C-alpha cells in the first residue's frame, strides 16, 4: 500500500499532524497500537482533570457551611467518579475518531515499525510512504529502587484507567506535575498523602517561588511533603506498603501506606519502532530532531515526547505536529515554539510562561518584577482563595514582559493572555492599558502590570 505520509502514534501530536496533512491534500496513514488520543486523552491529562473536578467538588461541599450552605452526609462514590471520567474520555476519543474519518485518514490499529526510509510495516503489511512522522509519545520511567516492581506499586495509568484504585493512604514517589496533581486528587478524597521528591523542591522544573508557595499550601492542608528525599527501598504487599527514604539531613525514615504511586517522570516510548536494519540518532533513549522535527534520516521526523530534550506537554506535541507537516509540504511552520506555557491543575492552579527571574539573571538580563496578591482581588476573596499571586518578569531596560508565574484560580486560563503578550513583545505598560472586567480573576494581570507602569 502506498501513502504520502505515515504517522506513527495517535496522540495529540499524531492526530493533529494527520489532520493537517490530510487537509493539505496528502494521503495519510496513521498507526496507533492502543486508543486514539494517546496518553493525554486516555490515561493522562483528561482523566486526571475529570477526576480532580469530582474530587474538588466533594472537598468544596465539605466546607460549604463557610459559605452559608448546609449539607448533610456528604460522601463520594469512587466508582461513579471513574464512570463519569470514562464517559468524558470516551466522548473525546470518539471526537478524534470522527476527525480521522471525516478527513479520510487511514487508521491502522497496531504498532508501526520503520524498516527503512519510506517503508513502514505493521502486522505483516507493508506501507510505502514519502515521509514519516514519529509521534509515539512517552511511557512511565521507573527509577532503580529495590521493590519498585512490587504489586502495590502503581503508575498513573493504573490509577487513571478503568476503575482506578481508592486509597486511605498513599505514598507518591515524585513531586512533578503528575505527582502533585495526584496528591491533590487523593487528598480531596480524604486520603493521607506523602510526597517524596528527590530534587530541592517539588515541581523542580518550575520557578522555585511557585514550588515554595504550593508546598506551604499543601502542608497547611495536611499533606506530607519531603524534598531532597532519597528513596532506599519499597517493601510489603498491596494494602500494606512500606517506603524507606533518607531525608535532606541524612536521617532514615519509613512511611507505610495502602499503596505507592511511582510518578518520577516519563521517558520516550520507542518500543518496537525500528526494524533490524533501521536506526536514528538517539540521545538518552529519545530521538534527536531539529527545531522542525527533522531526524538524522531524511524524510523522517519526530515530534512530542519521543523527541530528545523536548518539553513533555500535549500542546507542544500538537504544535510540533502542525509545524512538521508545514515543513513537509514546503510551507513556513505556523506556530512559534519559543514561548510555551506550562500548567499544573492543583488548587490553586499554577501556570508559568517565559523566563523566571532566575532564568533571566542567568542570561545576564537585568529584570524588574511586579507581583499582585490574591488577597487584594475581590473575586479571590469571594471564592475564599488560598494565598497566591500573579508575577510578571520584565526587562528593566525596555519594560518588555519576559515571563510570568501565576498561583491563583483560573491561572491555566489566564496564562494564554500573557503568552500572547510575551510572543508579541508587549510591555507591562501595554498590558496595563487593557481594561479587564470587574470583578474577575483576570484583574490580577492588570494589577501586576500596573505596578510596573513607568511613572
Q: How many CA atoms lie within 13 A of 401 on its CB side?
A: 36
Phi, psi of 209 (to 5 degrees): -65, -40
Question: In sequence order, what are the residues at sequence separation of 6 or more whose Cβ sits closer than 8 angstroms to the Cβ of residue 201?
Answer: 175, 208, 211, 212, 215, 227
Residues 7 and 18: their CA atoms lie apart, in Å, by: 7
Question: In sequence order, what are the residues at sequence separation of 6 or more whose Cβ sits closer than 8 angstroms to the Cβ of residue 243?
Answer: 171, 173, 194, 196, 231, 233, 234, 254, 255, 256, 257, 260
Indicate the pLDDT class of residue 73, thresholds 50, 70 and 90. Answer: confident
Return the pLDDT at 176: 97
Q: pLDDT tens digit string along 347-370?
A: 999 999 999 999 999 999 999 999
To the query of whether residue 436 is one of the catalytic residues in this protein, the response is no
Return the pLDDT at 446: 97
CB atoms within 10 A of CB 11: 32
Q: What is the mean pLDDT of residues 248-261?
A: 97
Indicate the pLDDT class of residue 395, thresholds 50, 70 and 90. Answer: very high
CA distances from 224 to 172, 197, 388 (A): 10, 11, 20
Shortest CA distance to 196 belongs to which of 167, 168, 174, 222? 174
Q: What is the mean pLDDT of residues 223-245?
A: 98
Q: Enter the pTM of the model.
A: 0.95
Grid cell for residue 42: 486516555
Question: In sequence order, what are the residues at sequence separation of 6 or more whose Cβ sits closer than 8 angstroms to the Cβ of residue 349?
Answer: 343, 406, 407, 408, 409, 410, 411, 412
Going by their DSSP bridges, the two strands 230-237 and 342-344 should be labelled as unpaired
Grid cell for residue 397: 531596560
CB atoms within 10 A of CB 376: 12
Q: What is the mean pLDDT of residues 246-254?
A: 97
Return the pLDDT at 386: 85
Residue 455 scores a pLDDT above 80: no
Residues 280 and 227: their CA atoms lie apart, in Å, by: 37
Residue 183 scores a pLDDT above 90: yes
**Mean pLDDT for the chain?**
96
Indicate the pLDDT class of residue 238, thresholds 50, 70 and 90. Answer: very high
For residue 439, whether the previous peptide bond is cis, meaning omega lies within 30 degrees of 0, is yes
Return the pLDDT at 77: 96
Return the pLDDT at 189: 97
Per the rule left: phi > 0, alpha: psi between -120 and 50, beta: everything else, 266 is beta
Return the pLDDT at 374: 97
Q: What is the mean pLDDT of residues 70-84?
A: 94
Q: pLDDT tens digit string along 90-105?
A: 999 999 999 999 999 9
Q: pLDDT tens digit string along 99-143?
A: 999 999 999 999 999 999 999 999 999 999 999 999 999 999 999
Q: What is the mean pLDDT of residues 66-80?
A: 93
Residue 162 scores a pLDDT above 90: no
Question: In sequence order, what are the residues at sequence separation of 6 or more whose Cβ sits closer than 8 angstroms to the Cβ of residue 250?
Answer: none
Return the pLDDT at 390: 98
**Residue among 165, 299, 315, 438 flagged as catalytic:** 438
Indicate the pLDDT class of residue 161, thresholds 50, 70 and 90. Answer: confident
Amino acid at each position: 500500500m502506498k501513502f504520502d505520509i505515515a504517522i506513527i502514534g495517535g496522540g495529540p501530536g499524531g492526530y493533529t499532524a494527520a489532520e493537517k496533512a490530510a487537509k493539505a491534500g496528502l494521503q495519510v496513514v496513521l498507526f496507533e497500537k492502543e486508543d486514539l488520543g494517546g496518553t493525554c486523552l486516555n490515561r493522562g491529562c483528561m482523566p486526571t482533570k475529570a477526576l480532580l473536578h469530582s474530587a474538588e467538588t466533594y472537598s468544596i461541599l465539605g466546607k460549604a457551611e463557610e459559605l452559608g450552605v448546609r449539607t448533610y452526609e456528604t460522601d463520594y462514590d469512587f466508582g461513579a467518579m471513574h464512570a463519569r471520567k470514562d464517559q468524558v474520555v470516551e466522548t473525546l476519543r470518539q471526537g478524534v475518531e470522527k476527525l480521522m474519518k471525516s478527513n479520510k485518514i487511514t487508521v491502522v490499529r497496531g504498532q508501526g515499525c520503520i524498516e527503512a526510509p519510506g517503508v513502514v510495516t505493521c502486522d505483516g503489511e507493508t506501507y510505502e510512504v514519502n515521509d514519516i512522522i514519529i509521534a509515539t509519545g512517552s511511557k512511565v520511567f521507573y527509577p532503580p529502587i529495590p521493590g519498585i516492581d512490587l504489586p502495590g506499586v502503581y503508575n498513573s495509568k493504573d490509577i487513571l484507567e478503568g476503575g482506578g484504585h481508592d486509597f486511605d493512604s498513599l505514598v507518591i514517589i515524585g513531586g512533578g506535575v503528575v505527582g502533585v496533581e495526584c496528591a491533590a486528587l487523593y487528598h480531596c478524597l480524604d486520603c493521607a498523602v506523602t510526597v517524596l521528591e528527590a530534587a530541592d523542591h517539588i515541581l523542580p522544573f518550575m520557578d522555585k517561588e511557585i514550588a515554595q508557595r504550593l508546598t506551604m499550601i499543601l502542608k497547611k492542608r495536611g499533606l506530607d511533603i519531603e524534598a531532597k528525599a532519597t528513596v532506599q527501598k519499597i517493601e510489603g504487599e498491596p494494602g500494606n506498603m512500606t517506603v524507606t527514604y533518607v531525608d535532606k539531613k541524612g536521617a532514615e525514615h519509613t512511611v507505610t501506606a495502602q499503596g505507592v504511586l511511582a510518578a518520577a517522570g516519563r521517558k520516550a516510548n520507542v518500543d518496537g519502532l525500528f526494524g533490524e536494519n533501521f536506526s536514528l540518532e538517539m540521545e538518552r533513549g529519545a530521538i534527536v530532531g531539529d527545531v522542525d522535527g527533522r531526524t538524522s534520516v531524511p524524510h523522517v521526523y519526530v515530534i512530542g515526547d519521543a523527541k530528545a530534550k523536548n518539553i513533555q506537554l500535549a500542546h507542544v506535541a500538537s504544535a510540533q505536529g502542525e509545524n512538521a507537516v508545514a515543513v513537509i509540504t514546503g510551507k513556513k511552520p505556523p506556530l512559534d515554539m519559543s514561548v510555551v506555557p506550562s500548567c499544573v491543575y492543583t488548587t490553586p492552579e499554577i501556570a508559568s510562561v517565559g523566563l523566571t527571574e532566575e532564568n533571566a539573571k542567568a542570561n545576564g538580563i537585568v529584570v524588574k518584577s511586579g507581583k499582585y496578591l490574591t488577597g487584594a482581588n475581590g473575586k479571590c476573596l469571594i471564592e475564599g482563595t488560598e494565598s497566591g499571586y500573579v508575577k510578571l518578569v520584565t526587562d528593566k531596560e525596555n519594560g518588555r514582559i519576559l515571563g510570568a508565574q501565576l498561583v491563583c484560580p483560573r491561572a491555566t486560563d489566564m496564562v494564554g493572555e500573557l503568552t500572547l503578550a510575551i510572543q508579541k513583545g508587549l510591555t507591562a505598560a501595554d498590558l496595563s492599558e487593557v481594561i479587564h472586567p470587574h470583578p474577575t480573576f483576570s484583574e490580577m494581570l492588570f494589577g501586576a502590570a500596573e505596578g510596573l507602569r513607568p511613572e
